[in-house]
Chain A
Amino acid sequence: MAKKNEKINWEYAPAPESTGHVNLKEQYDLFIDGKWVKPDSGKYFDSTNPANKKKLASVAHANEKDVDKAVKAARKAYTNIWSKMEPSERAKYIYRIARLMQERAREFAVIESLDAGKVIRESRDVDVPLACNHFFYYAGWADKLEYAFPNREVSSLGVAGQIIPWNFPLLMAAWKIAPALATGNTVVLKPAETTSLTALKLAEIIEESGLPAGVVNIVTGYGDTGAAIVNHEDVDKIAFTGSTAVGKIIQKAIAGTHKKSTLELGGKSANIILDDAPLDQAVEGIVNGIFFNQGHVCCAGSRLFVQESVADQVIEKLKHRMNSLIVGDPLDKNTDIGAINSKEQLDVINSYLKIGQAEGATMYQADCAVPSSGYYCRPTLFTDVAQSSRIVQEEIFGPVLTIQTFRTVDEVIQKANNTPYGLAAGVWTDKGSRIFNLTTKLRAGVVWANTYNKFDPTSPFGGYKESGFGREGGLHGLEAYVKLN
Chain B
Amino acid sequence: MARLEVLKTYKIYIGGKFPRTESGRYYSPKNAKGEALGNICLSSRKDVRNAVVAARKAFGGWSERAAFNRGQILYRIGEMLEGRKAQFIEELQLQGATKAKAEKEVAVAIDRLIYYAGWCDKVSQVSGGVNPVASSHFNFSVNEPMGVVGVAADQSTSLIGLVSQIAPVIAAGNSCVVIAAEELPLCSITFAEVLNSSDVPGGVVNILTGSLDEMLKPMATHMDVNAIVYTGNDAETLNSIQEFAVENLKRVRHYPQDWMDAKAQGLHYITDVMELKTTWHPIENIGGATSSY
Task: Give residues in A with beta carbon < 8 Å to B.
Answer: 133, 150-152, 244, 247-248, 251-252, 254-256, 263, 265, 420, 435, 439-440, 444-451, 454, 456, 458-462, 464-466, 468-469, 471, 474-476, 484
Cα–Cα, bound, A244→B266 (Å)? 32
Does B23 touch A at the CB level, under 8 Å? no
- Whether the Cβ atoms of B276 and A460 lie closer than 8 Å is yes
Task: Give residues in B with beta carbon < 8 Å to A.
Answer: 126, 129, 131-135, 137, 139, 141, 144, 146, 226, 235, 238-239, 242-243, 245-249, 251, 266-268, 275-282
- Whether the Cβ atoms of A445 and B134 lie closer than 8 Å is no
Q: How far is the CB of A138 from chain B (nearest CB, A)?
A: 14
Cα–Cα, bound, A471→B129 (Å)? 14
Residues of B within 8 A of A256 (CB): 235, 238-239, 242-243
Query: Which chain A residue has the least Cβ–Cβ distance from B275?
Result: A464
Cα–Cα, bound, A476→B275 (Å)? 11
Cα–Cα, bound, A71→B248 (Å)? 30
- Whether the Cβ atoms of B243 and A447 lie closer than 8 Å is no
Cα–Cα, bound, A456→B279 (Å)? 12
Q: A256-B239, A459-B139 are in contact. Are A248 and B247 (CB under 8 A)?
A: yes
Q: How far is the CB of B175 from chain A (nearest CB, A)?
A: 15
Can you name 14 extra interface pairs (CB under 8 A) apart from A446-B279, A456-B133, A462-B276?
A: A255-B243, A256-B239, A420-B248, A439-B277, A446-B278, A446-B280, A447-B277, A447-B278, A447-B279, A449-B280, A458-B132, A459-B131, A461-B278, A466-B249
- Whether the Cβ atoms of B137 and A251 lie closer than 8 Å is no
Q: How far is the CB of B279 from chain A (nearest CB, A)?
A: 5
- Whether the Cβ atoms of A459 and B133 lie closer than 8 Å is yes
Q: Which of B146, B268, B276, B278 neighbours the largest number of chain A CB atoms within 10 Å of its CB?
A: B278
- Whether the Cβ atoms of A133 and B277 lie closer than 8 Å is no
Q: List 26 A-B contacts (CB under 8 A).
A: A150-B126, A247-B249, A248-B249, A251-B245, A252-B246, A255-B243, A256-B235, A256-B242, A439-B277, A440-B144, A444-B277, A446-B278, A446-B279, A446-B280, A447-B279, A450-B281, A456-B135, A456-B137, A458-B139, A460-B278, A462-B276, A464-B146, A464-B277, A465-B249, A466-B248, A476-B141
Cα–Cα, bound, A459→B146 (Å)? 20
Q: Which of B238, B275, B277 neighbours the largest number of chain A CB atoms within 10 Å of its CB?
A: B277
Cα–Cα, bound, A224→B277 (Å)? 34
- Whether the Cβ atoms of B278 and A468 lie closer than 8 Å is no
Cα–Cα, bound, A255→B243 (Å)? 6
- Whether the Cβ atoms of B282 and A450 lie closer than 8 Å is yes
Query: Which chain A residue has the least Cβ–Cβ distance from B138?
Result: A449
Residues of B within 8 A of A454 (CB): 133, 135, 137, 280
Residues of A within 8 A of B135 (CB): 454, 456
Q: How far is the CB of A146 from chain B (nearest CB, A)?
A: 15
